[in-house]
Chains A and B, each alone.
Chain A
Amino acid sequence: MNVAAKDIAKGQNILEIDGISLSFGGVKAIRDVSFDVKKGEIRAIIGPNGAGKTSMLNVINGFYHPQEGTINYKGAKRHDMRPYVAATQGIARTFQNVALFAGMSTLDNIMSGRMLKMKVSLPWHFIRFGPAEREELEHRERVEHIIDFLEIQAIRRTPVGRLPYGLQKRVELGRALAMEPELLLLDEPMAGMNLEEKEDMSRYILDVNDQFGTTIALIEHDMGVVMDLSDRVLVLDYGEKIADGTPDEIKNNQNVIDAYLGVAH
């Protein structure tokens, strides 16, 4: 990873967040936070509970619209993002508390990630045969690759609502990958997992980054995982940025230690 890290350092930014502030009524979730994500890196966002990490992901993918600041994604400066625009521009995400389509099979869930890549228009769908079917098969092939990659062949036809939590997280990653994202946002991909599942998930994240060159921004509470996986770490606390740097820098940063362990008064 060290070699790659040097390349990344020279690379250009895929995302620049500048002076973002977000509040809900009187609650300030994010206060004037700026950071960037370089193309091809794994960027971690950490911080105590309620620090504004998930809010930040929601701003990036357009669920929340910040009151101040700009989002510069792939060179286009915006005041706020829209979910549809984010999806078409190559931002995919997973959710903290698994947001899958519970009634649908693993296959259908991952196929839904191909939604924007499929172009055949509505009338053809009523006929089903012809263009619509051809397109369906073509995308099925891509999805099968992802299923192989994530080693979930056995649960292809299972409704995801019945799967154990660890596998649901994996299917959710699969759905995000099906979008062939340039920037992948992962909200606590390892929450609630046991050690073995965490190791698997870490491996998938590294492989995605390595094989597909996907830029990844992830929120995670497991410090061991964060320090191992990420190239750079952003630390938020009470909606403010308190540190930003390589894992080694973060480990020794006094602000971070204070935020996590508390300060003697």
Chain B
Amino acid sequence: MSDTTLKSDGGSSMSQTQRNWLITVLILAAAVAGSFVAGSDSLLYKVFVGPFVEMYEVPDLFVQVLWEGLVAGTLYALVALGFVLIFKASGVFNFAQGIMVVFGGLSLVGFYAAGVPAFLSLALSVAMMYGLAWTVERVVLRPLVNQDPLILFMATIGLTYFLIGFGEFIFGGEPKTMITQEIGLPSGSYDFDWFGGFVSFQKLDIAAAVIAAIMVGCLAVFFNKTRIGRALRAVADDHQAALSVGITLRQIWVIVWFAAGIVALTTGIMWGARSDVSFALQVIALKALPVIILGGLTSIPGAIVGGLIIGVAEKTAEFYWGPLVGGSIESWIPYFIALGFLWFRPQGLFGEKIIDRI
């Protein structure tokens, strides 16, 4: 056997993903080598070497950017979690998750503005999310049971527009300020002198991360260890079989929509505290799409890790590479990253490799 046949054998037995890896590594290596040859003023150098040198030389700034990324990532993860919860249990891609975030935030602010004490408003908002879940099940899902998932998806688009109109009717369309202090969220920041520089952590962001972590922990235990969690997973796997052991789909749907509503309410509070609560916030639903591509629609860990990756990548890209093209790459870079991941892992981060038995 000659050398050449060996090589061609190796080439043909390589899988698609392996080939992708090889191509990518080769291109990157060529680019880095090229940028050193071309010198530090070249575009190649600015893209492939410059930013990393900067990260190394000014670490305090890098840490700050990373932190901002993680915080944004937590919020993306929460939105994605809302999608995942509902998709897992009912196979519905809930387009209305974004408006549910706004709705949660607005109802909290709205109750407070109407003179209800802060914590009572919070409780009332939770009750409101339950009411929403119950109504959605009764009015939207139940009549459409056994319909194609696409029809249910379109129904949630309809639900989105209804909630926008309904929300504006009740709460008015103008942006509102979140009642941050009133519900016990901290303000101010911890500042540190690190690496000869200055790094600042907003207390609110830390609180957001902690609350998100607790919530995700509770959901994970709930899903994996309890009777109702088991029922949720059962419904996700097989409706008929779930019915045959006496699980009622309706009850399960109300529970997941309620859980997704609680997640939406939390996201609404956290995001509202960083900006304002307005209907513009609902576009964060779109921010969750790359996270879902990355993490898979059915995986809770996928939503969390995916959210953090997207958040960090987005902020670092914006800060270090954004200036090269005049900034504002934040809005599209997440999709770019998600597609890059698919190139290597078509099943998403935590998805199981799909094998069709024939």
Interface residues, chain A, with chain B CB atoms under 8 Å away: 61, 63, 83-84, 87-88, 92-93, 95, 99-104, 108, 111-116, 118, 120, 122, 125-126, 128, 132, 135-136, 175, 179
Determine whether the beta carbon of A112 is less than 8 Å from that of B245.
Answer: yes
Chain B residues lying within 8 Å of A128, measured Cβ to Cβ, are 221, 225-226
- A103, B244: Cβ atoms closer than 8 Å: no
Q: With A99-B238, A122-B228, A125-B227 known to touch, is A63 a contact of B246 (CB < 8 Å)? A: no
State which residues 49-88 of B face A: CB under 8 Å: none
Contact indicator A112/B244 (Cβ below 8 Å): no
Say whether B231 faces chain A, with CB atoms less than 8 Å apart: yes
Docked Cα-Cα span, A83 to B246, in Å, equals: 7
Once the chains are docked, how many angstroms separate the CA of A209 from the CA of B270? 58
**Does the CB pair B229–A125 fall under 8 Å?**
yes
Which residues of chain B are within 8 angstroms of A125 by Cβ–Cβ distance? 222, 226-229
Out of B230, B240, B244, which one reaches A108, CB within 8 Å?
B230
Q: How far is the CA of A179 from the CA of B247 in the complex (A)?
A: 12
Q: How many A-B residue pairs have CB under 8 A?
A: 86
Q: B226 touching A112 by the CB < 8 A rule?
A: no
Report yes or no: A88 in contact with B218, Cβ–Cβ below 8 A.
no
B226 touches A103 (CB 8 A): no
Chain B residues in 8 Å Cβ range of A179:
245-246
Judging by beta carbons under 8 Å apart, are A104 and B241 in contact? no
Asked if B231 and A84 sit within 8 Å, CB to CB, the answer is no
Given known A100-B238, A102-B237, contact A83–B243 (CB-CB < 8 A): yes
Interface positions, chain B 173-202, Cβ under 8 Å from A, are none
- Counting from the closest, the 9 A-B pairs by CB-CB distance are A87-B246, A99-B241, A101-B237, A125-B226, A83-B243, A116-B246, A118-B227, A101-B234, A99-B238
A115 contacts B240, CB within 8 Å?
A: no
Q: Chain B: residues with CB nearer than 8 A to chain A? A: 218, 221-222, 225-231, 233-234, 236-238, 240-248, 255
Cβ B228 vs Cβ A101 within 8 A: no
Q: Are A115 and B241 neighbours in the complex by a CB distance under 8 Å?
A: no
Are B246 and A88 interface neighbours, CB within 8 A? yes
Q: What are 8 of the A-B contact pairs (CB < 8 Å)?
A: A83-B244, A101-B233, A102-B237, A114-B227, A122-B228, A132-B226, A136-B227, A175-B245
- How many Å from the CB of A126 to the closest CB on chain B? 6
Task: Output the nearest chain B residue to A89 by Cβ-Cβ distance.
Answer: B246
How far does the alpha carbon of A83 sit from the alpha carbon of B237 in the complex, in Å?
Answer: 17
If A83-B243, A84-B243 are given as contacts, then 7 extra A-B residue pairs at C-beta distance below 8 Å, sorted by A number, are A104-B230, A108-B233, A112-B234, A113-B245, A116-B245, A122-B255, A136-B227
**Chain B: which residue is nearest A125 at the CB level?**
B226
A108 to B228, CA, bound (A): 12
State how many angstroms separate the Cβ of B96 from the closest Cβ of chain A: 24
Tell me the bound Cα distance from A126 to B215 in angstroms: 11
A179 to B233 Cα, complex, angstroms: 18
Known: A100-B238, A102-B238, A112-B231. A126 touches B246 (CB 8 A): no
Taking a contact as CB atoms closer than 8 A, the residue among B222, B230, B236, B238 that contacts A115 in the complex is B230
B248 to chain A: closest residue by CB: A84
Q: Chain A residues near B236: list those with CB within 8 A.
A: 103
Report the Cα distance A92→B236, complex, angstroms. 20
> Quick one: which of B228, B237, B245 contacts A104, CB cutoff 8 A?
B237
